[in-house]
Structure 1
């Protein structure tokens, strides 16, 4: 059993398990939950691997990173955005959609290092108008982040801001698992699912546009032009940099763990 986020961006990575005969025959069942819930399920041993916030790797020792697959961006991410009623340098409070540990950590890094501000943070349900009633700004992730109405607001795309700050892509999520429970067969299945899913982007865009009640062209652009599903050397360098900066701004109480990428060999 594996766990995945329930957002548009993950569909190319898990659709194979439910929409192909080979995927169904794999015996791998996908459970869907927000990243913070997936982290708890993984820690409890309820699932073998989870497509979970990359920050979880640094926060919780003992996990291995499954190779070859991620949810990343090379620049703008569109679905992870913060919105402020004030210029960012004047923002003093931020309401956080705490579904994603990574996005919360990334926003804190960006505001500290790019804008030199340290606002107060509060947890809030992902409802932008309600967030902006109790704070200067709000952070939204996933489909709500992509579809939010940002008219009249100062919008910070966290992927684009990270690229500007570091010159690197950003890895929002990776497959994590207990090295003793992750098999070469599972790694192979996840890579197969990704390869097949990338051939289905038009079908996914059409299906999800109807589900999300948004333009099909937006979903297609998001999947084909914005999302990056690889996990190469530049992604691993970006992950290491994320860990270093998280430690520097006080988000980790220990030095970031070296990256442990699991082998796909038996």
Structure 2
């Protein structure tokens, strides 16, 4: 049976996945597309052996869960992949519309608003985030391409990644790859890495086709990819994960601080493959 890999359609993760989804990289996965939040639920319930996950869902998974080393999406302040758009003043925000498909970014908003602005608004799940601002909520949290689009028409926002960088001097990790212990063979890990390397080399080409849909110019896309995005979990990204989990714990969103456990290179699966 092929191990199931939870995937997502978010633009920021496309370069990591493109080799797998396009068939450019041979792999032995059953690809299961869904949102990051749904991936987290499925992974914890056991219906996925591996998945692209939001970091907070890794932290809430079984302690034996492992991270595929080096693979992920991290962004520095200025990438604008998580931002709060508002109509009035930031300190006047009492309600915030959020997209629950992005649990780590929702938690990041909670942390930043409390740590830097001393405010704790009520979070309101919403499908029409910008439409909610001014009518049903005071502000909206937008993530990924939604934030890029909105920034083209509004300058009333705070870039949460810049705020996170001010707080920690680190980038923010949006996506990582987690696996059940002993669930994958080395060939599966190699396929994930091959797709990552292909995506790093061709990220611009992969995203150019969606630049119009994303609402950003090619110039902006080039600037974001060159200056702000990293499609890997390097040392600063790992430090950021540790800090994020610490803040999550301090703000009551985690009951324990998770360790970062990694898949060991060359380790065979329980079945001996």
Deviations along 1:109-135, one digit per CA (max 9) or x if unpaired, are 001111111111111114312344211
Distance 1:236 1:90, change over 3 A: same
Supply the distance in 2 between the matched residues of 1:109 and 1:213 (Cα, whole angstroms): 28
Does 2:22 match 1:19?
yes
Residue correspondences, number: 263
The answer for unaligned runs of 5 or more in structure 2 is: 268-273
Other-structure match for 1:56: 57
Mapping 1:231-250, distance limit 5 Å: 231-250=233-252
Q: 1:142 aligns with which of 122, 134, 144?
A: 144
The answer for unaligned runs of 5 or more in structure 1 is: none
Supply the distance in 1 between the matched residues of 2:62 and 2:134 (Cα, whole angstroms): 36
Supply the distance in 2 between the matched residues of 1:220 and 1:45 (Cα, whole angstroms): 39
Supply the distance in 1 between the matched residues of 2:188 and 2:223 (Cα, whole angstroms): 30
Other-structure match for 1:200: 202
Other-structure match for 1:9: 12
CA contact (8 A) 2:6 2:39 kept: yes
- TM-score under structure 2 length normalisation: 0.88
Deviations along 1:97-117, one digit per CA (max 9) or x if unpaired, are 111110011110001111111
Identify which range, 127-136 or 210-219, moves more after superposition.
Answer: 210-219
Supply the distance in 1 between the matched residues of 2:14 and 2:206 (Cα, whole angstroms): 7
Mapping 1:27-176, distance limit 5 Å: 27-62=28-63, 63-149=65-151, 151=153, 154-176=156-178
Other-structure match for 2:266: 265
Let me know the Cα RMSD of the aligned residues. 2.0
What's the offset of the Cα at 1:211? 4.5
Identify which range, 242-251 or 225-234, moves more after superposition.
Answer: 225-234
What's the offset of the Cα at 1:213? 5.6
Distance 1:114 1:227, change over 3 A: same
